[in-house]
A = this chain, B = another copy of it.
Amino acid sequence: MQKKLIVSAVQQPCGDDNPQVNLEFSIAKIREAAAAKADLVVLPELHLGKYFCQTEDHSVFDLAQPIPCETTDILSALAKELSIVIVATIFERRAAGLYHNTAVVFDKDGSIAGKYRKMHIPDDPAFYEKYYFTPGDLGFTPIQTSIGKLGVLICWDQWYPEAARLMALAGADVLIYPTAIGWDKNDTKEEQGRQLDAWITVQRGHAVANGLPVISCNRIGFEFAPNSDSGIDFWGNSFIVGSQGEFLVHANATDTQLLTAEIDLVRSETVRRIWPFLRDRRIDAFGDLIKRFID
């Protein structure tokens, strides 16, 4: 395993009606990342198209693809050509009536190193994901690649310290969050600010609590809900932080940006020696974490 990795996150719009256009945009950015000698590049959640969960619509299931599929074949070939690890997410058709929100990790040799099926599925007005995605059944298992163990989680997972911890306990070298999150224009600027800050803070907190770097990759752009004048203003702000939660790079709310940073896995070892949280966890007293609530 390498001790230093150059890692990239592609903050981009994904709103073109033609998935081919969105994918080609991503591919151009992956080529840029490879030219900057990146070992790893992360795309936003469900980057092939508009965030389709703003409404519940049977016909949307037509967008789902099995894994492998033409999209994964293209990304496999690209990973091999550029010798780069790629983290993509696919609307996975597993069987008729059974769909997942699934991250696919392509190793430098073009093979599929592993999949992660989103475990925590949100459901809120304009984020009707429980309609589309069955909760994942692959657990919180890091994906072994030639550059290390990738703790890939997806969007709503980012609010759950349990998910980050389980990835860390299973030996993840880095936490990775492809995301599609944004503002409701009807919220006040103050509320929008609190939401964005909370989203950044909780993920940086996972870095701190686990002594691991975190890569969070969000889309940008306003996307209207179908037949509506409302929609989601995706807030960008993709970032990469080190194992003390310190910012390495941080994008703005509006622009396409290829974020690139060097993360040092030896630094994680050092940080965990300074702050040996894993040494002292009171696992004898954690049994109630598997309860819904303690009534």
- Chain A contacts to B: CB under 8 angstroms: 119-122, 124, 135, 139-140, 156, 159-166, 169-171, 194-195, 197-198, 201-202, 204-206, 208-209, 244-246, 274-278, 280-283, 285-294
A209 cross-chain contacts in B, Cβ below 8 A: 159-161, 202, 205
Q: With contacts A159-B208, A161-B205 known, is A169 near B294, CB below 8 A? A: yes
Q: Complex formed: what's the CA distance from A285 to B288 in Å? A: 13
Question: Are the CB atoms of B135 and A282 closer together than 8 Å?
Answer: yes
Say whether, besides A159-B208, A162-B286, A209-B202, A170 and B281 are in contact (CB < 8 Å). Answer: no
B291 and A290 form a contact (CB under 8 A): no
Alpha-carbon gap, A275 to B195, bound state (A):
10
- Given A198-B244, A201-B201, A290-B287: A120 and B280 within 8 A (CB)? yes
Is there an interface contact between A283 and B291, defined as CB atoms closer than 8 Å? yes
Measured between C-beta atoms, what is the minimum distance from A289 to chain B in Å? 5
* A289–B162 CB distance below 8 A: yes
Q: A161-B205, A198-B208, A201-B205 are in contact. Are A290 and B293 (CB under 8 A)?
A: no
Do A285 and B198 contact each other (CB < 8 Å), given the known contacts A171-B294, A205-B161, A209-B160? Answer: no
Q: Are A201 and B275 in contact (CB under 8 A)?
A: no
In Å, the complex CA distance between A294 and B170 comes to: 5
**In the complex, residue of chain B having the shortest beta-carbon distance to the beta carbon of A142:** B294
Number of copies of this chain that the complex holds: 2
Chain B, Cβ-Cβ closest to A167: B294
- 13 A-B contacts, Cβ less than 8 Å apart? A120-B282, A135-B282, A159-B209, A160-B281, A161-B161, A161-B164, A169-B293, A197-B244, A201-B205, A202-B245, A278-B292, A287-B290, A289-B290
Closest CB in chain B relative to A173 CB, distance in Å: 14
- Cα–Cα, bound, A119→B274 (Å): 19
A201 & B208 in contact (Cβ 8 Å cutoff): yes
Say yes or no: B245 contacts A139, CB within 8 Å.
Answer: no
Q: What chain B residues lie within 8 Å of A165 (beta carbons)?
A: 161-162, 289
User: Among the listed B166, B202, B245, which residue makes an inter-chain contact with A288, where contact means beta carbons less than 8 Å apart?
Assistant: B166
Complex alpha-carbon distance, A281 and B290, angstroms: 9
Which residues of chain B are near A287, meaning CB under 8 Å? 290
Point out the residues of chain B lying under 8 angstroms from A121, CB to CB: 280
